Structure 1
């Protein structure tokens, strides 16, 4: 069931069905802008354009470009200088939410944490003393 929301771009009411985050009018203007950006990038000399160059040439917002790359509408295999910011450090990445450097740092921290946890558990186990009592009848 649809719910009524305000469009974050134009502040108009629209029925949100989970498909689009903006109203129909703003979605149409985004689609028109996408076509302009895609036509710009299809030219051989523009395929290696950076995000800044695309924004300058087409007037598209950076956030829209990042959204299209995240959704796979602009493929980084075809346009190698495109990407979107890492959620941790802000460097451009093409997959996931974190860049490769942040992923590796996180994995290293997890390994360190797991090793420390195992060490603590082994110390507790080693220091645990069990007493057995024998009952005579």
Structure 2
């Protein structure tokens, strides 16, 4: 049993593996989810953007992003919703990085691997030394 402060309101609560906030904040989050879910289930709202969802429901973008990231809100049904890339903040729909950031990291890794291979080749070469005697 671990006592921690709620990250939302600061109240002390017993942390468990199912909730990362106190009971009061958890209930408020559930109410927010219900509000967003009801809004998004209507056929005419399925193409709503994040800004439209926030403005219409009154639920903070941070909380909606939490619903998306933890899988409560499936964005496959909502073509205009996404979440920010962990590196640059561009809006993405899958994974943790946008294609541009993932490509840059892959490129950097390839350069690093090439350099490591080159260092190994240099280290494995046998050196021949010639001396000149008079």
TM-score interval, normalised by the smaller of the two chains: 0.7 to 0.9
Q: SS where residue 3 of structure 2 aligns?
A: strand
What's the counterpart of residue 118 of structure 1? 117
What's the counterpart of residue 129 of structure 1? 127
| CA drift at 1:23 | 0.6
Is 1:48 equivalent to 2:47 in the alignment? Answer: yes
TM-score normalised by the chain length of structure 1: 0.86
What's the counterpart of residue 92 of structure 1? 91
Gaps spanning 5+ residues in structure 2: where? 130-134
What's the counterpart of residue 16 of structure 2? 17
| CA drift at 1:88 | 0.5
| CA drift at 1:123 | 2.1
TM-score normalised by the chain length of structure 2: 0.88
Inter-partner Cα distance in structure 2 for 1:5 and 1:125: 55
Is 1:62 equivalent to 2:61 in the alignment? Answer: yes
Q: Aligned pairs, how many?
A: 129
Q: SS where residue 77 of structure 1 aligns?
A: helix
